[in-house]
Amino acid sequence: MITIGVTGAVGRMGRRIIALAEEAGDLQVVAALEVAGHELLGQDAGLTAGVKKLNVAISEQPQVKPDVMIDFSLPASTEKWIDYCGENGIAMVIGTTGLSEAHQEKMRQAGHKTAVLWGANMSLGVNLLFKLVAEVAASLPDDYDMEIVEAHHRFKRDAPSGTALELARKMAQARGWPWPACLVHGREGKDALRQEKTIGMHAVRGGDIVGEHSVMFSALGETVSLGHRAHSRDTFVRGALQAARWLKGKQPGLYSMFDVLGL
């Protein structure tokens, strides 16, 4: 049995992590964490997530040390839990988006003390897409223009999505283009002609779209398209739970979903 802690335990992702972990059978939630002053502190995490009573109270700090902490929260909260897991030798799966370079440096530092896995997207399919877009970008000549369109629900705070940025980063690295200088965010005006050696980035926000990413490689005469559509947030949760299984017992270091998938 692998024990897990869940940060942001009453958020949309936190609740689903708790629910699907309970369904899995080989995972046990032993800590459900929320910010100080939250109105649901002290409530049972299982009942809050819509499953059976787990006898795990939502709390500010873990009462039991888990094997793996799973974090889908906000950057400020993630920073706190990176420090906590590093200091206490707890493996950590991070699915929070909108992290800065400073946050990523914190993850690298924590990786000297414990096993840390960060993914711009926890979906297994999206991580395969990361690999495919890099291969296509490396294989096609520079006159194949590269564009990314991402769409998410109206409540998403950061734009473009962390997934879209990671797609662009993989494509830029494959072609040896300067990052992030090669990015162009949207276009407008009377003189918005496409520039060479750039990656177009376009963010759409509306309704309850879970997550859609489309990548286009287009030249004179043909277009190659790759994409991914998430049907529900459970896609990301299942990927995070698979990452937690893989991460348990690993040596200190900074890992990715590529490691989980053997890519």
Q: What is the pLDDT of residues 25-37, one digit of tens each?
A: 999 999 999 999 9
What are the pLDDT digits (tens) for 39-60? 999 999 999 999 999 999 999 9
Residues 46 and 81 grouped into a single domain: yes
Q: Which of 106, 152, 170, 213 is an active site residue?
A: 152
Residues 172 and 186 grouped into a single domain: yes
Q: What is the CATH number of the domain that holds 240?
A: 3.40.50.720
Residues 212 and 249 grouped into a single domain: no
Range of the domain at 27: 2-122+233-261
Counting other chains too, the contacts that 249-253 makes at CB distance below 8 Å and 24 or more residues apart are 250/91, 250/115, 251/115, 252/111, 252/112, 252/113, 252/114, 252/115, 253/111, 253/115, 253/116
Residues 250 and 220 grouped into a single domain: no
> DSSP secondary structure string, 103-137?
HHHHHHHHTTTSEEEE-S---HHHHHHHHHHHHHH
Q: Which of 103, 153, 156, 250 is an active site residue?
A: 156
The candidate with the shortest Cα–Cα distance to 9, out of 25, 97, 210, 38, is 38
Q: Which tokens go with 85?
A: 């897991």
| Whole-prediction pTM | 0.86
Residues 137 and 216 grouped into a single domain: yes
- Split into its structural domains, the chain has a count of 2
Residues 113 and 157 grouped into a single domain: no
What are the pLDDT digits (tens) for 131-168? 999 999 999 999 999 999 999 999 998 899 989 999 99
Residues 110 and 196 grouped into a single domain: no
Beta strands 58-59 and 27-33, pairing class: parallel
Residue 152 a catalytic site member = yes
Residues 225 and 96 grouped into a single domain: no
